[in-house]
Structure 1
Amino acid sequence: MIHKPLFLFVISLTIFQLSTVYAQQKNRSEAIITGADQVEAYLPYLKNKKVGMVVNQTSIIGKKLSVDSLRSLGINIKSIFGPEHGFRANASNGAKVTDEIDPETGIPIISLYGKKRKPSKADVDAIDIMVFDIQDVGCRFFTNINTLADVMEACSENNKELLILDRPNPNAYIDGPILDMKFKSGIGKFPIPATHGMTIAEFAQMINGEGWLSAKRKCKIKIIPVKNYNHDLYYELPVKPSPNLNSQASVILYPSLCLFEGTIISQGRGTYMPFTVLGAPALKGKYQFSFKPVSIKGMSELPLHQDEECFGLDLRNENLDSLHAAGRINLQWMIEFYKAYPKKEKFFDSSQSKAMGKIENLIGNDLFKKQLTAGMSEEQIRKSWEPGLNKYKKMRTKYIIYP
């Protein structure tokens, strides 16, 4: 005979265990599922085709590189196309990447960040279909959307289809001024805000719809969308998207801190905590926190203020949930550092930095610098962005896949 208290305990425990299992199953069923992870949705489409893949270290199925997974499933991968930093992400920011043979698979790797940015006719003629599967971070100055456009251009010119395995955008908000096309560059090719609020697949639809390919061509695209995703969800990246975005904090802070690449302020390149700290030697005595950039192969060989002590802010303990929920670029740090910097005429001197470019190219206009030097408030600066942002948001609605 079972004791009544013991019997009730067993029943309660069983109910608890069952409810826990159900909750886990429910959470799993509602979890974000990337396009790449939905192998059953596109594997039959790739069977018996010669496949080209635009991929890097973020291109995973589960925890395994998608190239390896698809090869093991019998997909004929003829060539790999590597973006900035290369297929295995072992090249520094801005470094030219050469063509090579992948030592692990024997597949030719064609660099799209070396002698060319766009696959050649011969490259595309050698395949039946192109697959694009790269994690983006939602910023105009992160070069993956440029690579996307170049690949779409090559596919449209050669009548090849592009299969996009979509991934969430960890910075899926819309903020910053619209790029003035007078400042078009390698870190800004499209008339969009600094953070565009779209996934790669949504952006591809915008490229087609707005006629941004040459001669207003359209690329034939097929999309495997992300399941259980919307733009308000907080998404933690399973793989670092580039050598200098090596933590979730750096990914979330990147839209705000990358603007400092157009200044004399270091964002931590040359440390193992890039895009989570800010500082400069000239700020000694104004800040207690310090760091020293050094040359780090594969991350930053010639960082700004190399081997000099930089004084400034440590942002590693910022509340990432709050930053994500705010849905805006933080301008207060830029305003604070401009006010604190002793030699104002040197603040926007980015000539020592080998990373990006002038503030005009990063922010997208020549007004921001004037606004900052004139001492305008964040609210005043933001008000000047509103007409362009309102127009962009309306245009964007035509291309979004997710709520």
Structure 2
Amino acid sequence: MKPITWLLSVCLLVWTVAASGQVSQKLTVGAEQGERYLPLLQDQRVALVVNQTSRVGEQHLVDYLLAQGVNVVKVLAPEHGFRGDVGAGETIHDATDAQTGLPIVSIYGASKKPSAEMLADVDVLLFDIQDVGARFYTYISTMHYVMAAAAENDKAMLVLDRPNPNGAYVDGPVLDLAFQSFVGMHEIPLLHGMTVAELAQMIKGEGWIEAAEQLDLTVIPVANYRRDMTYVLPVAPSPNLPNQQAIQLYPSLCLFEATAVSIGRGTAFPFQVMGHDKVPLGEFRFTPRSMAQSAPTPKLEDREAFGVDLRESNVQGLDLRLFIEAYHAFAAAGETFFTAPEFMDKLSGTAGLREAIEAGASAEEIRASWQADLARFKERRQPYLLYP
């Protein structure tokens, strides 16, 4: 397999200018460009890193590849599982897929990195999972470990790209490696504005994995895509991001996971509300309940919370105002806000954000403190970008 070059990738992004104005060609995700990658899979033993978002039109990528005669030998299952029906943080177990008979091997359990034994009967690792553009969304961490395993075990790596629904934003603190974890692996901002294929190229190019130089990496970009496009995901990427509003709010609300505040896990509108039972944050009321697949033990379970309904809001990118206001409300009430300060630092990739909020800094002051790091990141990522 030959690595695709940056220039050839950019050539895919063709925009037709008609007399009546600019008319874009149809956006086509990597998985839908079989003519470009099926020849690379011929006579190869293929392991898939996929989930419910891995679609070719209305068909799952697994079914599509099997119908094309590709020798798929196994599925490596990430967080939320192959079918996307397992709750956040829950262990994924090895199994057999009832529909295809393929073995499902967990890479979200005892180990998050495929072992040499797992890859003994594999020639090519294919990654095709929809990301949402936030550093703490763990599919890019899974991709990191899969790339590392491919490099170490002399396996080819193929990444089929999909748009980033938060791709217009580059914001937040750049990860301090002292806080590296599975919710933050790379020296990128909280909102990095890159697709998974661009990140894969950066992981290899920056040497963020061992033996990066020997990794045989091929990416299939999205055709006719610009990163400032509005892209509505056709399939929910995980159980608690059920719609576009939740995906848009996710970068701002996920930080509340390290606090006493509920962001609606255990309701019909996760990541679209915020509230607390003892410190009222607004007049909207909701009560989290146990939900087997998405929230087995939600925060504030069976307790009525008072807060804010964000389902009709226009919060975009990374908005710290709600977070800072909630912190001050808790401080005034004498209640603990940061219930998991170490997790907060891992989510934000630094202790600096938490410490600045505790010191009384405003959202504007905090955002200003990131700008030099963001400028350096934008320059560093430039060689790996595939889209205008």
Assess same fold via TM > 0.5: yes
Change (3 A) 1:268 1:226: same
Listed as ranges, the matches of 1:263-282 within 5 Å are 263-282=259-278
- Structure 1 residue 215: Cα displacement: 5.2
What is the DSSP-based 3-state SS (H/G/I as helix, E as strand, rest coil) of the residue aligned with 1:268?
coil
| Alignment partner, residue 61 of structure 2 | 66
CA distance in 2, matches of 1:279, 1:152: 39
**Residue 349 in 1 paired to residue 339 in 2?**
yes
**Corresponding residue number in structure 1 for 2:321:** 332
Partner of 2:91: 96
Q: Does 1:210 align with 2:206?
A: yes
Q: Which of 389, 393, 398 is 2:374 aligned to? A: 389
Find the aligned partners of 2:78 and 2:90 in 1 and give their Cα distance: 11
- Where do 1:137-148 residues align within 5 Å? 137-148=132-143
1:375 correspondence with 2:360? yes
Residue type of the alignment partner of 2:327:
Y
**In the alignment, is the contact (CA less than 8 A) between 2:258 and 2:344 conserved in 1?**
yes
| Structure 2: unaligned runs, 5 residues or longer | 1-17
SS across alignment from 1:51: strand
Alpha-carbon distance in 2 for matches of 1:145, 1:42: 21
- 1:210-249 matches, within 5 Å, as 210-214=206-210, 216-249=212-245
**Which of 306, 311, 315 does residue 311 from structure 1 map onto?**
306
Q: How many residues align?
A: 367
Contact 1:208 1:218 in 2 (8 A): no
Cα deviation code 1:136-172 (max 9, x no counterpart): 1111100011110111011111111111110000111
DSSP 3-state at the match of 1:79: strand
| Local SS of the residue matching 2:119 | helix
State the alpha-carbon separation in 2 of the partners of residues 119 and 393 from structure 1.
31
Q: Which has the higher helix share?
A: 1
* 1:34-53 aligned within 5 A: 34-53=29-48
Distance 1:30 1:268 in 2: 38
Q: Distance in 1 between matches of 2:362 and 2:230?
A: 29
Q: Match for 2:173: what amino acid? A: P
8 Å CA contact 1:268, 1:275 repeated in 2:
yes
Q: How far did residue 113 of structure 1 move? A: 0.2
CA distance in 2 between partners of 1:115 and 1:368 (Å):
31
| Separation in structure 2 between the aligned mates of residue 122 and residue 335 of structure 1, nearest angstrom | 47
- 1:187 partner amino acid: V
Deviation per residue, 1:285-315 (Å, 9 max, x gap): x521011111101101111111111111110
Provide, for residues 347-388 of structure 1, a one-character-per-residue CA deviation record: whole Å limited to 9, x for no partner: 11138xxxxx62111111112122112221111111111121
Native 8 Å contact 1:153 1:214 kept in 2? yes
Task: Give structure 1 stretches of 5+ with no counterpart.
Answer: 1-21, 352-356
Distance 1:53 1:151 in 2: 10
Matched residue SS, 2:173 = coil
* 1:3 alignment partner in structure 2: none
Counterpart of 1:360 in structure 2: which amino acid?
Answer: D
Retained in 2: the 8 A contact 1:34–1:226?
A: yes
- Is residue 256–residue 329 contact of structure 1 (8 Å, CA) maintained in 2? yes
Contact 1:338-1:344 at 8 Å conserved across structures? no
Query: Which stretches of structure 1, 4 residues or longer, exceed 3 Å deviation after superposition?
Result: 215-218, 342-345
The structure number with the bigger radius of gyration is 1
Q: Distance in 2 between matches of 1:91 and 1:85?
A: 4
Secondary structure of 1:379's match? helix
Name the SS for the 2:174 alignment partner.
Answer: coil
TM value normalised by structure 2: 0.91
TM-score, normalization by structure 1: 0.87
Name which structure has the greater RCO, CA cutoff 8 Å, separation 6+. 2
Residues in 1 aligned to 2:214 and 2:381: alpha-carbon distance in whole angstroms: 18
Assess if the C-alpha contact under 8 Å between 2:140 and 2:196 holds in 1.
yes
CA pair 35-203 structure 1, distance change in 2 beyond 3 A = same
Aligned to 2:347: 362
Q: Describe the shift of the 1:221–1:183 C-alpha distance in structure 2 as closer, same or farther (beyond 3 A).
A: same
- Which has the larger displacement, 211-220 or 379-388? 211-220
Aligned residue among 81, 89, 101 for 1:86: 81
Measure the CA separation in 1 of the matches of 2:117 and 2:282.
55
Kindly provide the amino acid, as one letter, of the partner of residue 264 in structure 2: G
